[in-house]
Amino acid sequence: MLAELSIIPLGNSAHLSGELAKVLKLVDESGLPYQLTPSGTCIEGEWDELMPLFRQCHERARKASPHVVTLIKIEDDEGEQHQLTRNVASIEEKIGHPLQQTERRVRPEEDAAKEHTAGAAHGREPHASLPYQQGPVR
């Protein structure tokens, strides 16, 4: 079973990383495989392992905040294991490369627009061709 847990303490400081670190320590100490994301944590385990952990995490957040929103999303695919890595690997295999982009890439049309603007600003002719064909995709 794969679950995504998001805990949102409300009503306190906008800087929540200290409190969330205390919650994530519980996840880390559980021994279950997990992956931290910017908006939640994906955890793999059995129902009887996950539910008590979710309760502990929620209760830990409640110690720091009188108002807590806890979101749990579950993918329960009978007999499947290693979903934490397998789901991502399956998509990456189909795309043909890893999808761990953490910095913004410049798209070809943005690059061409920058060249056009820079060229015009310096009195040069802008490029007439782009590295791709514009128009509707068919």
pLDDT digits (tens, 9 = 90+) for 92-127: 889 888 877 667 777 767 666 666 555 555 555 544
The predicted pLDDT at position 86 comes to 78
Task: Give pTM, 2 decimals.
Answer: 0.67
Helix (H, G, I), strand (E, B) or coil at 103: coil
Q: Is a pLDDT exceeding 70 seen at residue 42?
A: yes
Domain chopping of the chain, boundaries: 2-95
**In CATH terms, is domain 2-95 a member of 3.30.70.930?**
yes
Q: Backbone phi, then psi, for 18, in 5-degree steps? A: -65, -45
